[in-house]
Amino acid sequence: MQHALVVAVVSIGLARIAGRLGLLGLERSGDSEPNQRDAKRGVALVGGLSLFAAWALSAWQAGAAGQSLEPERALENWLDARLSSTGLRLELAGVSALVAALVLGLVDDRLCLKAGAKFASQCALGGILVWPTLAAQPTAPLAWAVCLAIVAAVVVSCNVINTYDNADGVVAGLAAPALWLSFPALAVGCLVLLAAQCMRPTMRALPRPLLGDSGAQLVAVTLLMTPAAWPCLALPALDLARVARDRVRRGSRPWIGDRTHLAQRIDRRLGLGQRGPLAVAAILTLANAPALALAWGLVPTSARTLAAGFGTTLVVFGLLVRWTRPLTR
């Protein structure tokens, strides 16, 4: 409850001054508009700051209880269990990576970075995460190989989540259940931001708070540092692969936005207007049910269950794409 209140208060407060902060976006305005920031009106890209405030509250509460909040611990343990025979000991800078994700995302929200600059910032973010390992073992080839793989995973995770953030509330709807057990503060914050998408915009109302690139990158890095939540990235990755393929076939570039993402197609198919974000998030959460069963530990994690879960997600994804195909533009 405390974290929900913090996210709500911070979101409202920052939404009031979003214009002065350079974080005021434009509202998405119909199917004819491209999915670009210049196709929005009256939204505040402050969700990342709101989620970080909730995480900071959790860190303060853990410190007051004599504990430490180490977001990278789950990833370190997962890697150590698989590299124990090599003698390699990984140390990751989880807190620094979260701060960097927020800051670099805010820069992107303000300046609308080009694809090359965004890629460079994501590589830098991965470098910050693995820096302690490289500093401790600068001449170990295995350390460099593992760290480069982690940097690549950061880039992939950020791009998967950034491109999945193509409709209001979609990433929040993905992250809330995926992080419910490991990062409840962020999960609750995502639920608050998802509910905020159903605020009916008026001329006098505050701009609705959205995650923005800062929030999307914060979620991406948190998901990456939570191995149990990795299966939840399957659905966004499938959607990214599909739209990238379709864009190349049309002679466009994979990173040039449009309105053909699965969430946007479902939203048009339902035609619920302001109630759309909750409905779309609910449908995609159900489509992600196999991954959530693994993330919550409802089924044991094994090669067989992972394959079965991915196969089920792939089938559901194909059915949703087929269901929305007549309305594709």
Order of strands across the sheet that contains 208-209: 24-26, 41-44, 208-209
Which residue in this structure is represented by tokens 């449009």?
258
Tally of structural domains, the chain: 1
Please name the residues in contact with 61: beta carbons below 8 A apart, sequence gap of 6 or more: none
Per-residue tens of pLDDT for the chain, all 329 residues: 788 999 989 988 998 888 888 888 765 544 444 344 433 447 889 999 999 999 999 989 888 888 777 889 999 999 998 888 887 888 899 999 999 999 999 999 999 889 899 999 999 999 999 999 999 988 889 999 999 999 999 999 999 999 998 877 899 999 999 999 899 999 999 999 888 877 655 445 678 888 889 999 999 999 999 999 999 999 999 999 999 999 999 988 888 888 889 999 998 898 877 777 888 989 999 999 999 998 888 888 888 999 999 999 999 999 999 999 864 44
Residue 23 near residue 14 (C-beta atoms within 8 A):
yes
Q: Provide the pLDDT for residue 208.
A: 83
Question: Which structure tokens are listed for 321?
Answer: 């794409």
Strands (E), the chain: 24-26, 41-44, 208-209
Question: Which structure tokens are listed for 140?
Answer: 């170990």
CA 270, 273, 279, 285 torsion: positive or negative? positive
Calpha distance 242→245 (Å, rounded): 5
Q: Provide the pLDDT for residue 40.
A: 42
Calpha distance 301→295 (Å, rounded): 9
Domain that holds residue 92: 2-327
Nearest CA-CA partner of 178 in 228, 241, 138 = 228
Q: Provide the pLDDT for residue 199.
A: 65
Nearest CA-CA partner of 166 in 280, 238, 264, 278 = 264
- Phi first, then psi: what are they for 44, rounded to 5°? -110, 120
Please tell me the pTM assigned to this model.
Answer: 0.90
Please name the residues in contact with 106: beta carbons below 8 A apart, sequence gap of 6 or more: 23, 48, 49, 212, 213, 214
Q: Provide the pLDDT for residue 41.
A: 47
Calpha distance 141→137 (Å, rounded): 9
Task: Tell me whether strands 24-26 and 41-44 are parallel, antiparallel or unpaired.
Answer: antiparallel
